[in-house]
């Protein structure tokens, strides 16, 4: 019998949530016995080879490429989990939302303190187009579960994956979701 498949992706984020996945330490070997990874930075597979059981996405949605990636995940994942504060509530990436996009680009590429000789705003078809603001995942597609935290602890991620893989309810002791 084939093992359940997991796919992971990061969008606008620091990659800290993927680091928490790796921080499950020796349990990563148990996880490897329970699942196979499809599309993920963990195995460097960049496209879905087939639909997966669980998709995990960290980060906010800040450009047109992220919208397409997120829609592709929703289409190819039976269960889709938004992981971390950036995915759930935008967190640090949403700081850009307080500045109009045009002003943000001009400051970064034309008027910033490190710009010499005028600068230029990048405009190449290979560069994703920035959205007017950074969006949390659930404003773009339906998300089945959210794991809060910046990043969520390895224990929180482990408990969520084990529950989903064994058909149990996701339940977290208060200590795993308390942030102060």
Going from N- to C-terminal start, the domains of the chain cover 5-95+132-177
Q: Which fold has domain 5-95+132-177?
A: Rossmann fold (3.40.50)
Q: How far apart are CA 9 and CA 140, in angstroms?
A: 15
Q: How far apart are CA 120 and CA 128, in angstroms?
A: 16
- In this structure, the number of other CB atoms found within 10 A of the CB of residue 135 comes to 21
Beta strands, E only, 108-179: 130-135, 145-147
pLDDT in tens, 97-118: 999 999 999 999 999 999 988 8
> pLDDT confidence of 32, banded at 50, 70, 90?
confident
- pTM strictly above 0.95: no
Q: How far is CA 64 from CA 12, 55, 140, 161, 163, in A?
A: 12, 20, 11, 29, 33
Instruction: Give the end-to-end CA distance of the chain in Å, rounded to a whole number.
Output: 43
Q: How far apart are CA 126 and CA 63, in angstroms?
A: 12
Strands 145-147 and 77-83, bridge-based pairing: parallel
pLDDT in tens, 85-99: 999 988 888 999 999
Average pLDDT over residues 57-70: 96
């Amino acid at each position: 019998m084939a093992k359940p498949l997991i796919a992971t992706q990061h969008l606008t984020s620091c990659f800290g949530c993927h680091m928490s996945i790796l921080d499950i330490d020796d349990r990563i070997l148990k996880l490897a016995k329970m699942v196979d990874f499809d599309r993920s930075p963990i195995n460097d597979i960049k496209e879905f080879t087939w639909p997966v059981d669980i998709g995990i996405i960290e980060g906010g949605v800040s450009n047109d490429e992220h919208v397409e990636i997120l829609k592709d995940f929703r289409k190819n994942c039976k269960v889709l989990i938004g992981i971390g504060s950036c995915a759930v509530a935008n967190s640090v990436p949403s700081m850009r939302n307080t500045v109009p996009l045009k002003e943000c680009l001009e400051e970064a590429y034309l008027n910033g303190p490190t710009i010499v000789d005028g600068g230029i705003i990048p405009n190449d078809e290979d560069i994703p187009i920035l959205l007017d603001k950074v969006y949390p995942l659930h404003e773009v597609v339906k998300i089945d579960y959210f794991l809060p935290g910046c990043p969520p602890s390895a224990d929180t991620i482990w408990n969520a994956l084990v529950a989903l893989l064994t058909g149990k309810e996701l339940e977290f002791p208060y200590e795993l979701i308390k942030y102060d």
